[in-house]
Amino acid sequence: MANKEIPYKIYLEESEMPKEWYNVRADMKKKPAPLLDPATGKPMTVEALSRVFCEELSRQELNDTDAWIPIPGEIRDFYKMYRPAPLVRAYCLEKKLGTPAHIYYKFEGNNTSGSHKLNSAIAQAYYAKQQGLTGVTTETGAGQWGTALSMACSYFGLDCKVFMVKSSYELKPFRREVMRTYGADVTPSPSTTTAIGRQILAEFPGTSGSLGCAISEAVEAATSREGYRYVLGSVLSQVMLHQSVIGLETNAALDKYGIKADIIIGCAGGGSNLGGLIAPFVGEQLRGEAKYQFIAVEPKSCPSLTRGKYVYDYCDTGRICPLAKMYTLGSGFIPAATHAGGLRYHGMSSTLSELYDQGIMEARSVKQTEVFEAAEYFARIEGILPAPESAHAIRVAMDEAIKCRETGEEKTIVFGLTGTGYFDMMSYEKFHDGKMTDYTPTDEEIEAGLSKIPNIG
Amino acid sequence: MANKEIPYKIYLEESEMPKEWYNVRADMKKKPAPLLDPATGKPMTVEALSRVFCEELSRQELNDTDAWIPIPGEIRDFYKMYRPAPLVRAYCLEKKLGTPAHIYYKFEGNNTSGSHKLNSAIAQAYYAKQQGLTGVTTETGAGQWGTALSMACSYFGLDCKVFMVKSSYELKPFRREVMRTYGADVTPSPSTTTAIGRQILAEFPGTSGSLGCAISEAVEAATSREGYRYVLGSVLSQVMLHQSVIGLETNAALDKYGIKADIIIGCAGGGSNLGGLIAPFVGEQLRGEAKYQFIAVEPKSCPSLTRGKYVYDYCDTGRICPLAKMYTLGSGFIPAATHAGGLRYHGMSSTLSELYDQGIMEARSVKQTEVFEAAEYFARIEGILPAPESAHAIRVAMDEAIKCRETGEEKTIVFGLTGTGYFDMMSYEKFHDGKMTDYTPTDEEIEAGLSKIPNIG
């Protein structure tokens, strides 16, 4: 319980901002399984990873022993431009729901990328610059990661090539223009500019694309160019490491007011925002210092945790990236073109997968119409217009708060509000016009994806 | 000079937020000229004003004696959801420009309306609710005011009818959808739903509309309906009063770190953001406590201060609103369809007009291409993607900082960054494609507008 009056928004002082990222893998007794080299089937080395990723990021990717990694000064300075993010007490939502629960959300949308993605983008661009690279390539789904990387590359003077999932490219024409404002080059994926893109287009003509396809194209574009490396906005352990800044700030803000969270909720696509949010709390629990309920929320249309298998699989549709052990629907699974492009990924972060497998984290899947209902309700009460991805967490946070109303429990619910929906208005329009439908894959469709997973590791 | 290290962003504590608005008219020896009733040519009374506006707002409109007006608790609670707005030290911009100047900006874009407009919208909706009204009508240019009012009306359960300037309606399709998310009804103006709209369409077929037209339609829609009043997002003294929260927070943030501003800059359309920003500083100067340089920045395409006349004129194209003494281009002047819809108004706040006339405030006009150059430069350096309106202030702040580089002066420059440009990407696209042109009215065009001003007052 709180010791002093809690303001609507808790901002840390600049001096209270994290100086190190937290690497939860160091505190896990059973570690996430290692990445495997698709050529040899053996664990990836820093050297092999460095052909695709920046060297220092490759080291971070494989580091499961150091709990604390210093945040370089230049990155901390950049963080100061848009962080700390506020931890908001949802007083109005609590009142409207008539719940005894206390609801808090960590709001990551107060920057031009509109999301938490900038936390890792600036780190990855920094290490690329340090390595003396010319530029980086990447994929983007909802467009938030692409925008974030464009901003980060512009800041450090790096070239930035973005492959944007075609369905998002078409739904979000203005996203491309924001990236262009920051000097990036944006291509809809699958495209004819890469061999793998041409192959996917031949196999699935008229496909609206997926994160898996776009990743394959971006990796090919990076590895076939001198002075380029590939960077990824989610799934990887390095990304979750950078995103730990979310959880560390949240933890510090709660501590400042003597608040103890009971439930911590986040949406999960590749898993980096949720992983970053819960990391320090999971660490406390692993060290026996506290106990929490962690809930991952995924769309029913792409249910990797709730309906996938925990096995080694390719991270990309083109099968050129390392293999990861994760909850997966199969790298060949192409999810329906729903309105939460950032959650349309067939797999889940290996760290979150392991935490889920150990029963430390739960998972729920939700329908997109009920997500948009929650999004609009929240916008009208709390003012912030959420991204469809973020609204998955809002949905479950509201559900939990309503449960508390029924049981009378005064639980403290914390959720991650990862970003804003200003570029998602076509989706909101469909919802307002009653034209939004729900899509849940049939058992046959799920089985078809799972059956194509290689038998490795 | 600063006493302690200045963070990138200064946030006030909730307890330090203003509890009263500041009414600068009370400290002006020569007051702004009173509003006149168009029917009688005599000063407006609260009673007469109340036929169009809410009663309490009418009282605020005519109050030029009370310097401090308490902010009701419900409005202060709403402010706490998205305020305090940060006062940002533009360290990166200073470094990039190589200037000895210290640059600060008050950023009002961290809310879903994307601008400062919410500060007055919530106040106006509150007083409408207190009066027991069913709903309100209004106009919107760039769409920020309409969005803000939609949010405020949704919060208090009021009906909200918005007339949106047709050029903006077409340039910003997603703005309508945001307003719809908050339950508002949006009509492009001029429209056939009002008598004045039909008249304007008959006189100027194919017109892209203007704030002046949209105001006329909204007033007609309010006064021809039971339980409705008209609300306005700028120009009026009541709006400038509510917007004083910007200046009061800025002043408190500067004080907290012992910083003394030398130059204070804002963009000026109707004048409310600039008026709100500078009000407490003007007050200090009027009371002889400090001296500042105040600069209003307007577009060359709509230069009311720099090329208008200081006379009584109609506030709206339809000539049904009260007459105000102000710098004006004539209520018949319809500015070119430029990309800063929020600055396309023929007149200027009577308070700012009087301050300009007394030589307390300066004015500059700038070309839109040089504004977009500044906008993109700023976005890349400071991260925030500004609204075209706000970028007018950025342009002049950068110009002043560059002057300091040349003279070596360590001036402290404060400017108002009123909002974000996420819904202006079509304008940015034109700029990127080299298709943006500048428009400066000829002397004949200015003269044509001025010649139609009535000879009153």
A112–B383: do the CB atoms touch at under 8 Å? yes
Residue B426 contacts A where some CB pair is shorter than 8 Å = yes
Tokens of A373: 């209902």
How far apart CA B430 and CA B452 sit, in angstroms, is 34
Task: Identify the closest residue of chain A to B381 by CA–CA distance.
Answer: A155
pLDDT of B2 reads: 44
How far apart CA A209 and CA A24 sit, in angstroms, is 33
Q: Select the more confidently predicted residue: A435 or A317.
A: A435
List domains and CATH numbers for chain A.
9-15+83-114+237-450 (3.40.50.1100), 20-71+117-230 (3.40.50.1100)
Residue B158 contacts A where some CB pair is shorter than 8 Å = no
> For the segment B189-232, what is each residue's pLDDT rounded down to a tens digit?
999 999 999 999 999 999 988 877 898 999 999 999 999 999 99
Tokens of B301: 């395409």
pLDDT of A341 reads: 76
CA pseudo-torsion sign A393, A398, A401, A406: negative
- A69-78 LR contacts (CB < 8 Å, sep 24+): A69/A20, A69/A21, A69/A23, A69/A241, A70/A19, A70/A20, A71/A18, A71/A19, A71/A20, A71/A21, A71/A123, A71/A245, A72/A126, A74/A126, A75/A122, A75/A123, A75/A126, A76/A17, A76/A19, A77/B91, A78/A122, A78/A126, A78/A152, A78/A155
A383–B426: do the CB atoms touch at under 8 Å? no
Q: Which residues of A touch B181 (CB under 8 A)?
A: 376, 379-380, 385, 428, 432
Mean pLDDT of A112-125: 97
CA distance B175 to chain A (A): 8
Pick among B76, B94, B111, B112 to test the A interface (most A CBs inside 10 A) = B112
Report whether pLDDT(A201) > 50. yes
How far apart CA B184 and CA B121 sit, in angstroms, is 14
Strand partners, B106: B87, B416
CA distance A328 to chain B (A): 35
Residue A104 contacts B where some CB pair is shorter than 8 Å = no
Strand partners, A363: A296
Going by pLDDT thresholds of 50, 70 and 90, the confidence category of residue A374 is very high
Report whether pLDDT(A2) > 50. no
Predicted complex ipTM = 0.93
A11–B11: do the CB atoms touch at under 8 Å? yes
Pick among A174, A339, A426 to test the B interface (most B CBs inside 10 A) = A174
CA pseudo-torsion sign A419, A425, A428, A432: positive
How far apart CA B109 and CA B421 sit, in angstroms, is 9
> For the segment B120-144, what is each residue's pLDDT rounded down to a tens digit?
999 999 999 999 999 999 999 878 9
pLDDT of B188 reads: 95
Q: Name the B residues in 328-387 with CB < 8 Å from any A CB.
A: 376, 379-380, 382-385
Which residues lie closer than 8 Å to A288 by C-beta, 6 or more apart?
none
pLDDT of A1 reads: 42
> For the segment A138-193, what is each residue's pLDDT rounded down to a tens digit?
999 878 999 999 999 999 999 999 999 898 888 788 898 999 999 999 999 999 99
> For the segment A264-314, what is each residue's pLDDT rounded down to a tens digit?
999 999 999 999 999 999 999 999 999 999 999 999 999 999 999 999 999
pTM over 0.90, yes/no: yes
